[in-house]
């Protein structure tokens, strides 16, 4: 049939993957149409993910730091939390960024079409716009439709006291007693926010540890701190039933055989946050009409150039595979746009860093020790305890560890894991080191400013070289 619009490159979804791909494609001379179901650009990351969570975590950090300065002889009164003010500030941060994106799209003549899109053939996409259905013909397409919250069947989803990460970021109220189902990155970041704002938080996790992808020695300082602050942490435990009662949501727990700390009696909570993972949106875009393969988990498989099984259709970001991270999406986006423009490029990152912006932060890249052991990858390691860092002590936060893993033969860095204040920022040096093929000496001989936390990867490298033998 006749198309209502046409373009060189169609991008489906305006998250970090989609807007980056659209802008890069336009900069490379393509006529681009960007389709997004919501009025605001930026996807999960800007609207209900990375950015709002970090805005609230910043407030949480200020509150807990102020509270903890009492140990250092500086006392503040109890903070007064005006949640409308805090929410308004967070919304302002989002608006600046999403409004900026709209301006960037306009400047590049990227046409934004609002509405839910689905393929209608290998070269057309149909969008349900507020003005009716529109068909867009394209030469190439980049699918960047992201992911959605995973749900546990049978929970009372119509009850406003049961929320997901989006609901948690809306900051409707500060519950007295809160249950967080899922001890992964998103659950623990939100737990950190609500704990700082005054909720009594319980975290329940099905696996035998929090943040299962990170090494246990790295998670330990976080676990120790939150065990002190929170009401409870139940590991190897699942919530088998959640019932709406007038006084709250009633949760029934079931612990794994022998693990034993889950409460035998059902517990009432004022609010329950479900954070048990995210599912790719592969099944929501009528991929079959374009002949694009979607796997059993809902991901769209791609090659190293982000190409699907249909050569002129690409997929990037959360929808094409793990890890579901914004910086993976933006890097894949540039590759897809450049491949379409005829550049000889591929996505070939040596490592994609992961960060939990909890307090303390947990950050890792390359191989973890757990992974090295499981896969039989030869490694040596050194772990520098922050109790020996002057800066960490001066900040009153020596509960950190900086760990390096290297290849025993070449001494090249193959992994790093850091726990501590600002671990996410500190990790960047190790990511660059790995991409550059740096070895222990490269890190150890680079002059780092004193006293900074950035010295800790250098100290770990010095430990590895036997230069630091006792920790002074
Ligand atoms: P998305 O951001 O999901 O964007 C997809 C877009 O496509 C959406 O705007 C959606 O509305 C649109 N769309 C989907 N289907 C259609 C359709 N049929 N028609 C039209 N439009 C459609 N990652 C980090 O790296 N760092 C963090 O700190 C971080 N924090 C997070 C915190 C939370 C609470 C959450 C939920 C996620 C967080 N993430 C973080 C993950 C990050 O948000 C995602 O990895 C990232 O947004 C993925 O980008 P994307 O472009 O693939 O997809």
Query: pLDDT value at position 259?
Result: 62
Query: pLDDT value at position 469?
Result: 77
Query: pLDDT value at position 468?
Result: 86
- In tens, the pLDDT along 285-299 reads 999 999 999 999 999
Pocket flag, ligand 1, residue 356 (CB < 6 Å): no
Pocket flag, ligand 1, residue 16 (CB < 6 Å): yes
Residue with the two structure tokens 């009409």 = 289
Expressed in angstroms and rounded, the spacing between residue 319 Cα and the centre of ligand 1 is 9
- 318: annotated binding-site residue? yes
Residue 51 corresponds to which tokens in the numbers above? 């950015």
Query: pLDDT value at position 258?
Result: 65
Q: What percent of the chain has pLDDT over 70?
A: 99
Pocket flag, ligand 1, residue 267 (CB < 6 Å): no
Cβ 392 vs Cβ 455: under 8 Å: no
Nearest-angstrom CA–CA distance, 357 and 155 = 28
Expressed in angstroms and rounded, the spacing between residue 461 Cα and the centre of ligand 1 is 36
Pocket flag, ligand 1, residue 353 (CB < 6 Å): no
Pocket flag, ligand 1, residue 146 (CB < 6 Å): yes
Expressed in angstroms and rounded, the spacing between residue 278 Cα and the centre of ligand 1 is 10
Distance, CA of 411 to chain centre: 30
- 188: annotated binding-site residue? yes
State yes or no: is 450 an active-site residue.
yes
Cβ 215 vs Cβ 417: under 8 Å: yes
Mean pLDDT of the residues in the chain? 97
Query: pLDDT value at position 260?
Result: 64
Nearest-angstrom CA–CA distance, 204 and 262 = 9
- 205: annotated binding-site residue? yes
Range 302-323 average pLDDT: 98
Pocket flag, ligand 1, residue 184 (CB < 6 Å): no
Pocket flag, ligand 1, residue 14 (CB < 6 Å): yes
Nearest-angstrom CA–CA distance, 68 and 196 = 12
Cβ 364 vs Cβ 427: under 8 Å: yes
Cβ partners under 8 Å of residue 349, min gap 6: 328, 331, 435
Measuring CA to CA, which residue among 326, 343, 313 is closest to residue 146? Answer: 326
Pocket flag, ligand 1, residue 165 (CB < 6 Å): yes
Q: Which of 58, 312, 343, 450 is catalytic?
A: 450
Expressed in angstroms and rounded, the spacing between residue 325 Cα and the centre of ligand 1 is 8
Q: Which of 24, 46, 145 is the pocket-test mutation for ligand 1 (most atoms within 8 Å of CB)?
A: 145
Task: Determine the atom of ligand 1 nearest the C-alpha atom of 20.
Answer: 51
Query: pLDDT value at position 261?
Result: 82
Expressed in angstroms and rounded, the spacing between residue 13 Cα and the centre of ligand 1 is 9
Cβ 104 vs Cβ 18: under 8 Å: no
Expressed in angstroms and rounded, the spacing between residue 324 Cα and the centre of ligand 1 is 8
Q: How far is CA 265 from CA 103, 137, 154, 239, 365, in A?
A: 54, 59, 20, 12, 40
Nearest-angstrom CA–CA distance, 390 and 395 = 9
Pocket flag, ligand 1, residue 317 (CB < 6 Å): yes
Expressed in angstroms and rounded, the spacing between residue 244 Cα and the centre of ligand 1 is 30
Range 305-327 average pLDDT: 98
Range 134-153 average pLDDT: 97
Nearest-angstrom CA–CA distance, 135 and 127 = 6
Q: Which of 43, 365, 424 is the pocket-test mutation for ligand 1 (most atoms within 8 Å of CB)?
A: 43
Expressed in angstroms and rounded, the spacing between residue 205 Cα and the centre of ligand 1 is 24
Q: Which of 54, 322, 323, 326 is the pocket-test mutation for ligand 1 (most atoms within 8 Å of CB)?
A: 326
- In tens, the pLDDT along 147-174 reads 999 999 999 999 999 999 999 999 999 9
Q: Is the per-residue pLDDT at 231 higher than 60?
A: yes
Pocket flag, ligand 1, residue 325 (CB < 6 Å): yes
- 187: annotated binding-site residue? yes
Tell me which residue has its CA closest to atom 27 in ligand 1.
50
Nearest-angstrom CA–CA distance, 185 and 365 = 15
- In tens, the pLDDT along 408-466 reads 999 999 999 999 999 999 999 999 999 999 999 999 999 999 999 999 999 999 999 99
ipTM above 0.95, yes or no: yes
Q: Which of 49, 135, 184, 294 is the pocket-test mutation for ligand 1 (most atoms within 8 Å of CB)?
A: 49
Radius of gyration of the chain (CA): 24
Distance, CA of 325 to chain centre: 5
- In tens, the pLDDT along 242-269 reads 999 999 999 999 987 766 688 999 999 9
Task: Determine the atom of ligand 1 nearest the C-alpha atom of 330.
Answer: 51
Cβ 305 vs Cβ 346: under 8 Å: yes
Query: pLDDT value at position 472?
Result: 55
Q: Is the per-residue pLDDT at 471 higher than 90?
A: no
Residue with the two structure tokens 């102020």 = 66
Instruction: For the chain, give percent helix, strand, coil, nearest 5.
Output: 35, 25, 40
Pocket flag, ligand 1, residue 279 (CB < 6 Å): no
Task: Determine the atom of ligand 1 nearest the C-alpha atom of 148.
Answer: 3
Bridge partners of 249, per DSSP, are 244, 269
- In tens, the pLDDT along 6-58 reads 999 999 999 999 999 999 999 999 999 999 999 999 999 999 999 999 999 99
Would you tell me the crossing angle of helices 16-27 and 326-340 to the nearest 10 degrees? 30
Nearest-angstrom CA–CA distance, 285 and 143 = 9
């Amino acid at each position: 049939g006749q198309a209502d619009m046409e373009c060189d490159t169609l991008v489906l979804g305006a998250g970090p993957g989609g807007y980056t791909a659209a802008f890069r494609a336009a900069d490379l001379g393509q006529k681009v149409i960007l389709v997004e179901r919501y009025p605001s650009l930026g996807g999960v990351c800007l609207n209900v993910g990375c950015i709002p969570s970090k805005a609230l975590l910043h407030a949480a950090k200020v509150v807990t730091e102020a509270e903890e300065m009492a140990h250092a002889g500086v006392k503040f009164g109890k903070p007064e939390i005006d949640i409308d003010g805090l929410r308004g500030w967070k919304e302002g941060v989002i608006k600046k960024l999403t409004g900026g994106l709209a301006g960037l799209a306009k400047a590049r003549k990227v046409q934004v079409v609002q509405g839910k899109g689905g393929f209608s053939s290998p070269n057309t996409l149909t969008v349900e716009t507020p003005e009716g259905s529109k068909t867009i013909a394209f030469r190439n397409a980049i699918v960047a439709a992201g992911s959605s919250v995973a749900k546990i069947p049978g929970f009372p989803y119509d009850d406003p006291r049961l929320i997901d990460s989006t609901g948690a970021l809306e900051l409707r109220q500060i519950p007295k007693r809160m249950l967080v189902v899922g001890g992964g990155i998103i659950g623990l970041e939100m737990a950190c926010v609500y704990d700082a704002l005054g909720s009594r938080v319980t975290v329940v996790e099905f696996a035998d540890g929090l943040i299962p992808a990170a090494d246990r020695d790295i998670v330990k300082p976080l676990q120790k701190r939150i065990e002190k602050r929170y009401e409870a942490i139940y590991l190897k435990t699942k919530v088998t039933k959640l019932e709406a009662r007038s006084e709250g949501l009633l949760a029934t727990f079931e612990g794994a055989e022998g693990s034993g700390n889950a409460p035998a009696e059902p517990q009432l909570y004022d609010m329950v946050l479900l954070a048990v993972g995210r599912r790719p949106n592969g099944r929501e875009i009528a991929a079959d009409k374009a002949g694009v393969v979607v796997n059993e988990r809902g991901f769209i498989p791609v090659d190293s150039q982000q190409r699907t099984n249909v050569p002129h259709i690409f997929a990037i970001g959360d929808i094409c595979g793990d890890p579901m991270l914004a910086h993976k999406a933006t890097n894949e986006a540039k590759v897809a746009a450049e491949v379409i423009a005829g550049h000889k490029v591929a996505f070939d990152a040596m490592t994609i860093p992961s960060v939990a912006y909890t307090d303390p932060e947990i950050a890792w890249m390359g191989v973890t020790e757990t992974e090295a052991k499981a896969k039989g990858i030869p490694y040596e390691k050194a772990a520098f305890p922050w109790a020996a860092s002057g800066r960490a002590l001066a900040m009153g936060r020596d509960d950190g560890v900086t760990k390096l893993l290297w290849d025993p033969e070449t001494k090249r860095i193959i992994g790093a894991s850091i726990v501590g204040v600002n671990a996410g920022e500190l990790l960047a040096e190790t990511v660059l080191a790995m991409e550059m093929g740096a070895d222990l000496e490269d890190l150890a001989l680079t002059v780092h400013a004193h006293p900074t936390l950035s010295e800790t990867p250098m100290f770990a490298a010095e430990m590895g070289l036997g230069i630091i033998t006792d920790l002074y």
